[in-house]
A and B are shown apart, each in its own frame.
Chain A
Amino acid sequence: MATPLVVSEVAKSFTMHLRDGVRLPVVANVSFSVKAGECVVLGGPSGVGKSSILKMLYGNYGVDEGQILMEHDGRLVNLATAEPRTVLEVRRTTLGYVSQFLRVVPRVSALDIVAEPLQARGVAVAEARDRAAELLAKLNLPTELWSLPPATFSGGEQQRVNIARGFITDHRILLLDEPTASLDAKNRAVVVEMIAKKKAEGTALIGIFHDEEVRDAVADRIIDVSEFSPRKQAA
């Protein structure tokens, strides 16, 4: 099986046009790869560019230089230059993402938010909802919340909806942006177990975890993102 994700010499900076065109270098020369069944953790202090790397991998941030290669549908896609519709296709079938915060859509229930990625892949509504219910139960989200839109949920409840949504499919690559930040110990343990299961199934995982206990439990390898700091490389 080919390596699911290869990142090669990626660089990113922001140009703040509203601040007289100030240029903020974020990362440079980012190179790493993630194997199937491996969980790679991006480490380093806040502000070093960990989230920016995840956002580039998902296509939310543009990439100035370099390549992000993913094996998608039997071919190699460079996400750094792919057309929007290719990025969307990759997200639907190959690349999953658990963001830090849930983007809620008015009137859509928690259960349907979780079921949606499966439905987008053609799974029947009833079956997708069953799978969603299974995951929400596993994450100890009270049943009475399932039919409600998560706008009024607590941070930890929203995060569990987000995790369930990210874990419901069998995407080969999964990005995790602090998925356990607002969870209690019991639910953190559930997430650790879910990550272990993904690894066993051959999913390539890349995550940011500030919680050391969780990080030690899931990480096969920690990449120190400060190595990619443009300031350090210039020095």
Chain B
Amino acid sequence: MSAVPLLKVNDVSKFYGSRIGCRNVSFELYPGEVLAIVGESGSGKTTLLSCLSTRLMPTSGIVEYHMRDGQYRDLARMGEAERRFLMRTDWGFVHQNPADGLRMTVSAGANVGERLMAVGDRHYGNIRATAKDWLTRVEIDEDRIDDQPRAFSGGMRQRLQIARNLVTSPRLVFMDEPTGGLDVSVQARLLDLVRGLVHDLGLAAIIVTHDLAVARLLSHRMMVMKDGAVIEQGLTDRVLDDPREPYTQLLVSSILQV
């Protein structure tokens, strides 16, 4: 396990006017670690994810990323071009709604190939072969490579979005409710797929979810948010088996057993 963190988050807060988005969040994420951020709607999970992934500027606090050249860079001080390059290559972002992360009117192959071209791949044959390989890895039939995602089911679209994000071998992937709008049977397949890929590729990931079962299955560590603040954090099975804060106890005790 690597000795230096990939991401260092120090006292990050975001205010919308006088309203709190998230406040005083600090943590470190190491390579290969999967962190789940849980909490109910409006607890600040997505705001925090946006601040970490530079989609929103924090009101205060610092987010630093360990670049491939070994230097830490303050994300807020990075130029726009550099930040965009980082997001297209070393990072992935999986949206709850695949339509937000895919280009719906270009082919599945082009959706995957586009990110490869962003890292300088120009050989059409190679790009197509890699795209095919990735479609297979996310269990999409390779003969669908020329179809547009518009023609795909929700579960397939989500798998395509994952392929698009992982094709450049990112080191850090952000996921916002990745199984949100899916049927449970489709969810199980996607979860298993994500679990396997994260493990095989040694990815670090930050997953926002309100589903504690998803957090249990995918994450090593967990942060529980309420009213914009992190109220409890630790090893995922410790937080779920021995929740300490009143709100965490309420969350855990509210899970329906089947």
Contacts and interface: CB of A to CB of B under 8 A. Distances in A.
Interface of A: 14-18, 55, 59-62, 84-85, 87-89, 105-108
Given A18-B250, A18-B253, A106-B188, A85 B1 contact: yes
Interface of B: 1, 30, 33, 188-189, 191-192, 195, 217, 220-221, 234-238, 241-242, 244-246, 249-250, 253
A60 B250 contact: no
Given A17-B245, A17-B246, A105 B217 contact: yes
Which 3 pairs show the lowest CB-CB distances between chains A and B?
Answer: A17-B246, A106-B188, A84-B235
Given A18-B249, A85-B33, 7 more contacts: A18-B250, A59-B235, A61-B242, A62-B234, A105-B195, A105-B217, A107-B188
Given A18-B253, A106-B192, A107-B188, A60 B238 contact: yes
Residue among B192, B217, B221, B242 facing the most chain A CB atoms (10 A cut-off):
B242
A88 B235 contact: yes
Given A84-B221, A84-B235, A108 B192 contact: yes
B238 A59 contact: yes
Nearest to B236: A84
Contacts of A105: 192, 195, 217
A84 B1 CA distance: 13
B28 to A, nearest CB: 9
Contacts, number: 53
A8 to B, nearest CB: 20
Given A60-B238, A85-B33, A87-B235, A15 B244 contact: yes
Residue among B189, B237, B253 facing the most chain A CB atoms (10 A cut-off):
B237
A61 B249 contact: no
Main secondary structure of the interface of B (DSSP, over half): helix
Contacts of B192: 105-108
Residue among A16, A88, A108 facing the most chain B CB atoms (10 A cut-off):
A88
20 contacts: A14-B242, A16-B249, A17-B249, A18-B249, A55-B242, A59-B237, A60-B237, A60-B241, A61-B238, A84-B221, A84-B236, A84-B238, A85-B1, A88-B235, A105-B217, A106-B189, A106-B191, A107-B188, A107-B192, A108-B192
A59 B236 CA distance: 10
Contacts of B30: 85
A85 B128 CA distance: 38
Contacts of B217: 105
Nearest to A58: B237
Contacts of A84: 220-221, 234-236, 238
A131 to B, nearest CB: 19
Contacts of A61: 238, 241-242
Nearest to B250: A18
Contacts of A60: 237-238, 241-242
A108 B217 CA distance: 12
Contacts of B250: 17-18
Nearest to B248: A17
Nearest to A106: B188
Nearest to B33: A85
A108 B245 CA distance: 33
A83 to B, nearest CB: 9
Contacts of B244: 15, 62
A49 to B, nearest CB: 13
B27 to A, nearest CB: 10
Given A84-B235, A87-B235, A88-B235, A107 B189 contact: yes
Nearest to B220: A88
Residue among A15, A17, A84, A105 facing the most chain B CB atoms (10 A cut-off):
A84
B99 to A, nearest CB: 26
Residue among A18, A55, A61, A85 facing the most chain B CB atoms (10 A cut-off):
A85
A38 B241 CA distance: 29
Contacts of A62: 234, 238, 242, 244
Contacts of A59: 235, 237-238
B241 A55 contact: yes
A53 to B, nearest CB: 13
B237 to A, nearest CB: 5
Contacts of A14: 242
Contact of B1 (A16, A17, A18, A89): A89
B94 to A, nearest CB: 19
Nearest to A92: B1
A87 B246 CA distance: 25
Contacts of A17: 245-246, 249-250
A89 B220 CA distance: 11
